[in-house]
């Protein structure tokens, strides 16, 4: 019998292979379209903290969306991996230095303020129609979200992906966190809260 972890590895590999095959110019155009869709559909108050991410490989590039949110005076932050288990979110300020964070990504250096995001744009490898996600296997987002929940600061989670990353059904594990919304090039999908 195949374990949930093995199934996730299989779905992750297949979904990322599909994503990697997308035309790079098309991905850029869709990133701009996604930015317009979410910018129009998300309520962000001035000063509200929103975490994004620096795209790696063929991920949806959320930088146009972050720029749009900055124009609306959101406070932006990017993930910083501190060790093998801990990820925090450092404030992204125009003109501040960015440093390599590993995995081909960049983020603010250690002098940047650590923030607790109220809204998280969450990268993912695969997702299903119920709002379940498969990450990259390191568990960094799961642990960061759990830390925020334990502190009484539940973030609004928006998964960011391309339609080709959808799988039939993500196997569930106890530590998994369901997304409130997933945004792809075909639009924003909202999911009811888990009981």
Residue 88 CA to residue 32 CA, distance in Å, equals: 27
User: Is pLDDT at 22 greater than 70 in this prediction?
Assistant: yes
pTM over 0.85, yes/no? yes
**Domains recognised in the chain with CATH numbers:** 4-190 (3.40.50.10420)
Helix axis angle for 63-71 and 24-41, nearest 10°, is: 30
Return the bridge partners of 18, or none.
none
Q: What share of the chain has pLDDT > 90, as a percent? A: 61
Residue 68 CA to residue 61 CA, distance in Å, equals: 13
User: Is pLDDT at 48 greater than 70 in this prediction?
Assistant: yes
Give the mean model confidence (pLDDT) for residues 58-68. Answer: 92
- What DSSP assignment string belongs to 59-100? ----HHHHHHHHHTTPEEEEEEE-SSS-EEEEEE-TT--EEE
Q: What CA–CA distances, in Å, run from 69 to 53, 75, 89, 105?
A: 13, 8, 17, 20
pLDDT, tens digit (0-9, with 9 covering 90-100), for 118-166 = 999 999 999 999 999 999 878 889 899 999 999 999 999 999 999 999 9
The bridge status of strand 49-51 relative to strand 75-81 is parallel
Tell me the pLDDT band of 194, cut-offs 50, 70 and 90: low
pLDDT of residue 14: 96
Classified as helix, coil or strand, 104 is: coil
Tell me the pLDDT band of 195, cut-offs 50, 70 and 90: low
φ and ψ of 54, to 5 deg: -90, 120
């Amino acid at each position: 019998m195949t374990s949930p972890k093995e199934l996730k590895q299989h779905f992750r590999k297949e979904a990322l292979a599909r994503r990697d095959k997308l035309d790079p110019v098309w991905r850029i155009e869709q990133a701009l379209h996604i930015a317009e869709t979410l910018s129009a559909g998300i309520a962000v108050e001035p000063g509200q903290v929103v975490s994004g991410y620096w795209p790696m490989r063929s991920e949806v590039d959320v930088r146009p969306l972050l720029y749009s949110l900055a124009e609306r005076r959101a406070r932006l932050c990017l993930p910083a991996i501190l060790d093998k288990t801990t990820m925090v979110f450092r404030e992204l300020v125009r003109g501040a230095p960015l440093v390599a964070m590993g995995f081909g990504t960049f983020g603010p250096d250690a002098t940047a303020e650590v923030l607790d995001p109220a809204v998280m744009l969450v990268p993912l490898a695969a997702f299903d129609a119920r709002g379940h996600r498969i990450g990259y296997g390191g568990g960094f987002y799961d642990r960061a979200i759990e830390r925020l929940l334990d502190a009484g600061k539940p973030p609004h989670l928006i998964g960011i992906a391309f339609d080709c990353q959808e799988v039939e059904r993500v196997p569930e594990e106890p530590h998994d966190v369901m997304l409130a919304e997933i945004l792809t090039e075909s639009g924003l999908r909202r999911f009811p809260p888990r009981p």
